[in-house]
């Protein structure tokens, strides 16, 4: 039987939602082994002067506990 754990990570990017997700998973993988997947729980656009300047995502990252 496998045991999984979920952590919540907030990440951001000035490029895109996909880049924010990728950077969040990349950063988490520096200290967490065995990442199996991630859910995007929430997304937010930061707007300045009528333009999107930053994307923020809240990720639930699942990994196996050994």
pLDDT tens profile 6-49: 999 999 999 999 999 999 999 999 999 999 999 999 999 999 99
pTM: 0.88
With 90 as the cut, is the pLDDT of residue 66 above it? no
In SS3 terms, the chain reads as CCEEEEEEEEEEECCCHHHHHHHHHHHHCCCCCCEEEEEEEEEEEEEECCEEEEEEEEEEEEEEEC
* CATH code at position 47: 3.30.1660.10
Structural domain boundaries enclosing 36 = 3-65
User: Cα–Cα distances in Å, from 24 out to 1, 16, 45?
Assistant: 28, 12, 16
pLDDT confidence of 56, banded at 50, 70, 90? very high
Looking at the 3D structure of the chain, how many domains does it have? Answer: 1
């Amino acid at each position: 039987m496998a045991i999984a754990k979920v952590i919540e990570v907030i990440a951001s990017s000035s490029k895109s939602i996909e880049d924010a997700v990728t950077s969040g998973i990349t950063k988490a993988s520096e200290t967490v082994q065995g990442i199996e997947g991630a859910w995007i729980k929430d997304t937010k656009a930061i707007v300045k002067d009528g333009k999107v300047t930053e994307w923020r995502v809240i990720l639930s990252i699942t990994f196996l506990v050994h």
